Amino acid sequence: MNTTVTHSIMDYLGMYNEAVEGHSLPLKQRGKFKDRATAIAAVEKLCEEYALEITYQTETDSYYLAAMHPEKDETEDAEVAADPIVASLTEMQFALMNRIAHDEYNTTNGATPTSASDVNCWLWADEFAKDIGLTGKQVGGLLTTLETAGLIRMDKVAKKRGQADESSVWFTEAGFAAWQAVHQTAVDAAAAPAPKAKKAKKAKATEAVAAKKRGPAPEYKDEQVITVLVANPKREGSMAHGRFALYTSGMTVAAALAAGVRRDDFRWDTYHGYITIE
């Protein structure tokens, strides 16, 4: 937080409430703070949990909480100047984007995405938080700042009877460029051996589906039969990998649901050619 400027209790209250509303944080707005120390502590906690920082806006001569950007040295400034299109990412922002980028990619189907249209997955926020060592609140705040910056997009899927609201998340071109820049730097630093040639991508429909919004999941009947077409394509150790392992060819939709598969899995896995349901 910026400690060079003295803010009043009302200043902190305004910054807090504007951040909750402006960043769509899962918190309630505050009516007041009992004293200035409490106000400072609340805003500091907000900044820490949601990767925010106090920023001055000259147009309105006021302060607000904006998405935090990493500090850059002169070399980094020169790189940004040379390529102004690529946005900077904080460590936590990159961790979340990297988890999203690899949700459907592993050593079986290509290891890593090569374009923005490759990145489109279900938004399992609780699973992502666990995998990258953050809290659910932190992931929620990061998603908001990334979407506000135009690096990702999310869409709500219609609520179905017996299942919770879910969202899918995908990279914009700017988001892919930002993620790829950091990811490639990490790969180069590790001096990893050149990867084997990627297997030819089947189904042009996969890329088309990843690049557009998807509609509500089909309502499969309990007696319809599932056929598994590929070896488990999900990231090993993930919840999605565990659920895919529950499939067996010849089982019914009802049996799969009873075993722990989600209806949303049916939509994703049939769209990508992993299973058929007939």
Q: Are residues 128 and 206 in the same domain?
A: yes
**What integer pLDDT is reported at residue 20 of this predicted model?**
82
**What integer pLDDT is reported at residue 72 of this predicted model?**
41
Q: Quick check: is 221 in a domain?
A: no
Q: Quick check: is 133 in a domain?
A: yes
**What integer pLDDT is reported at residue 184 of this predicted model?**
79
Q: How many CB atoms lie within 10 A of CB 175?
A: 25
pLDDT in tens, 29-74: 888 999 999 999 998 988 888 878 887 766 556 777 877 654 444 4
pLDDT in tens, 71-92: 444 444 444 344 444 668 888 8
SS3 state at 57 = strand
Q: Which residues of the chain have pLDDT under 70?
A: 1-5, 57-61, 68-87, 104-111, 155-167, 187-218
pTM of the model: 0.44
State which of 210, 235, 254 marks the end of a domain.
210
Number of domains comprising the chain:
3
**8 A C-beta contact, residue 43 and residue 13:** no
Domain span at residue 241 reads 226-277
With tokens 């084997």, the residue in question is 196
Q: Are residues 85 and 186 in the same domain?
A: yes
DSSP string, 24-41: T-SSPPPS--SSHHHHHH
Q: Quick check: is 216 in a domain?
A: no
Q: Are residues 46 and 26 in the same domain?
A: yes
SS3 state at 12 = helix
Q: Are residues 63 and 107 in the same domain?
A: no
Q: Are residues 158 and 39 in the same domain?
A: no
Output the six-digit token pair for 109. 């189907």
**What integer pLDDT is reported at residue 197 of this predicted model?**
53
Q: Quick check: is 128 in a domain?
A: yes
Q: How many CB atoms lie within 10 A of CB 227?
A: 13
pLDDT in tens, 199-214: 545 445 444 444 444 4
Q: Quick check: is 1 in a domain?
A: no
